[in-house]
Structure 1
Amino acid sequence: MSMYDTFASSTTPRLISTSPFSRHVSSQDIDEHAEQVSDWQLTYDQMSAGRFHGELTEFSLDWMQVIRDRTNQSLIKRGSAKPGTINFSIPLSFSGDLYCDGNLVSGGKALVAHADDLPQLRTPDEMDLLVVAVDMEILERELTLQGIAFESRHLPKTYLVKDLDLPRNLRTILENLEYGCASSTADLNDERLRHQFRDAIMLQLFELLPSSQPVEITPSNRKRTVDRACEYALAHLDEPLTILDLCRTLGASRRKLQYCFQETLGTNPVAYLRTLRLNAARRELRQGADLVSVQEVASRWGFWHLSRFSSEYRTMFGERPSQTLHR
């Protein structure tokens, strides 16, 4: 049984536990899930079809924020992290391909990025991700003391974790935190305990940074082509846009456009652009209440056949557009 099978059927975020230094919530809405991360500004688009389930566990350890983010659908993630932090994203487990700013990232790699320069991610299904956000000044001071060379201005980068015990050790620390908070055996109100957990996690990060030559992440030319195609398509929703229209606008062949989308996102341009529009329509329906109708929203995002829109929407999100509107 998947961990998501135990979720309640309600789409309202469910606060499972909370304290001044820890919180655990579950959600069946991607926007609500994104909003749960304290001090982060995130936007999610759902890319795979099916009902979304997510669990978020967050620990506030003073100058360190520890987040466990578990999701069951492929997502496009954009945004910024807690200001003034360096962020370590370490997959604990995932199934499928992970794309970072248009680069396919193989298993056994961790991503390190500035708070205000997070690369766009396309996550795989059933991802269990640990994120550690550390105050940048404190991190650099700690690394200097340990004699570890680290050029934060060159981020984002990926670091190898394949031959390290890092994921297993961090999972153990995280599970001790989760168990302790759930059973009330770990009182994070005690600064001494927060200090112990911070140092345990920092020791693991020390193992990561000098482990190998990191790979700098930069948007590829093909990623820039994809971005231009998306901008053009979303700016011309009132037109019956075709792939040939995109080819003419971008000065690219159909084959090149296909390669650009496939290599940077693992999908084709028609499917991706339709999914972006479905997500935008869902976001508007979610906020619309009595101010809009399903047909108005569908038309605004380039869906002129209402029944086809409703069918595609239900397949993608696991509910009818009217259910989202009146939730």
Structure 2
Amino acid sequence: MNGTLLRSGAVFAVKRTTEVHCHAQNLTGWRQDYEQTSPGLFEGLVREYQDSVLQIFEEIANRSTTQYCQTWDEGVWFGLPVEETGQNLLYMGHALRPNQMMVAQGRTLFDLQVPEGFGLYGVVIKAQQLQTAWKLAHAMDDDSKAAAWQLEMPRVFNLTLPTRLRLSGLLREALNNLQAYPQVVRHAGSVAALQSAILSTLVQVLSLENTEPTVTLRWRRRLDLVHRARSLVLSDPASYLTVDQLCQALYVTRRTLQNCFQSVLGMSPAAYLRAVRLNRVRQELLQATPGQTVIDIAARWGFWHMGHFSKEYRILFAEKPSQTLKRSRAMAR
């Protein structure tokens, strides 16, 4: 999927899926890669409104996920937990505190560790429209002073409780009304009014300028190490790199790698990389070509003991790999 907002007309949709990689694709214009990290059958839901300027959505899944995200290039993303606490959500490896709002530019990759059953509101708005509204609100006639939301590094805004409730309430009300009366998106007046309501509220929130970066230089090194380890595993499944071989390839000690994974992802390198490989097997089973077998796909990702593989797969996804392949064959008919 490319990084451009795909539709110029206003559209509202409710999207449901039972596959984590499909859930990642259900936000229009985003480039995303999700991995399921808690066991059980997956169910994901996205409610999304989007037009040529604005995208608002609610996203929730019943299983924990690791998410690697990048929104469309011209946009600025603002993320807010549906619940007030935001407890146990990790943004760039850091626990989100109550009443914090996440911010990232469209050209910036960010990652999330999302607990099961955790809902997120999202707003993406074209940077040009946001900049225009910002300048009007602050009587600015030049771009010399960059606002915090314009900085490339992912950040969080510390909101007051009333401000947080005003923004989350507006998003909830907008999505609920759009779901109840989807025909309103056919009218330019209602689209313009919705854009104005979201934009003016965002400008008020951002005017507080109570912000902080999510990533220090030291933390950036930890994140980069985790990302590089994952990329190595995904780029060459035939090599089946062990944790010790990853350490050698990354020029770090086993203890350093363990500490980085534990602090950023909350799990060991071995546990996370096993989940990554199992997710890739499931994705390939669902996209299998005629003649491919469970054994072929599992072995390609380094699983040689089919009994152990089948057990681990069944624990994570609540079905046998043969059942996944069977469903894939049935859907292809």
Per the shorter chain, which TM-score range? 0.7 to 0.9
1:232-243 paired onto structure 2 within 5 Å: 232-234=232-234, 237-238=237-238, 241-243=241-243
- SS of the residue 2:161 aligns to: coil
1:118 partner letter: L
- Percent identical pairs in the alignment equals 28
**Contact kept? 1:103, 1:220, Cα under 8 Å:** no
Partner SS state of residue 134, structure 1: strand
Shift of 1:262: 0.6
Which residue in 1 is equivalent to 2:40? Answer: 50
Quick one: distance in 2 between partners of 1:231 and 1:175?
A: 36
Partner of 1:290: 290
C-alpha separation in 2, matches of 1:297 and 1:283: 10
Residues in 1 aligned to 2:285 and 2:45: alpha-carbon distance in whole angstroms:
23
Matches within 5 A, 1:58-137: 58-93=48-83, 96-137=87-128
1:210 pairs with one of 182, 207, 221? 207
Q: What's the CA shift for 1:61?
A: 4.3
Give the equivalent residue in structure 2 for 1:244.
Answer: 244
Q: 1:259–1:41: structure 2 CA closer, same or farther, 3 Å change rule?
A: same
Q: Is the 8 A contact 2:104 2:152 kept in 1?
A: no
Counterpart amino acid of residue 175 in structure 2: E
- Check if 1:187 corresponds to 2:177: no
1:95 CA displacement = 6.6
Secondary structure of the structure 1 residue equivalent to 2:185: coil
Report the more deviating stretch, 110-119 or 302-311: 110-119
Following superposition, the deviation at residue 248 of structure 1 comes to: 3.5
Q: Which amino acid aligns with 1:145?
A: L
1:95–1:124 contact (8 Å) kept in structure 2: no
Q: Which runs of 5+ in 1 are unaligned?
A: 1-18
1:47 deviates by 1.4
How many residues are paired up? 308
Distance 1:106 1:173, change over 3 A: closer
CA contact under 8 A between 1:289 and 1:325: conserved in structure 2?
no
Q: Which residue identity is paired with 2:50? A: S
Residues of 1 paired with 2:21 and 2:195: CA distance?
Answer: 30
| TM-score for both structures, normalised by structure 1 | 0.85
Of 72-81 and 185-194, the range deviating more from structure 2: 185-194
In structure 2, the CA distance between the partners of 1:174 and 1:104, relative to structure 1 (3 Å rule), is closer
Contact 1:90 1:129 in 2 (8 A): yes
- Tell me, what secondary structure is at the counterpart of 2:312? helix
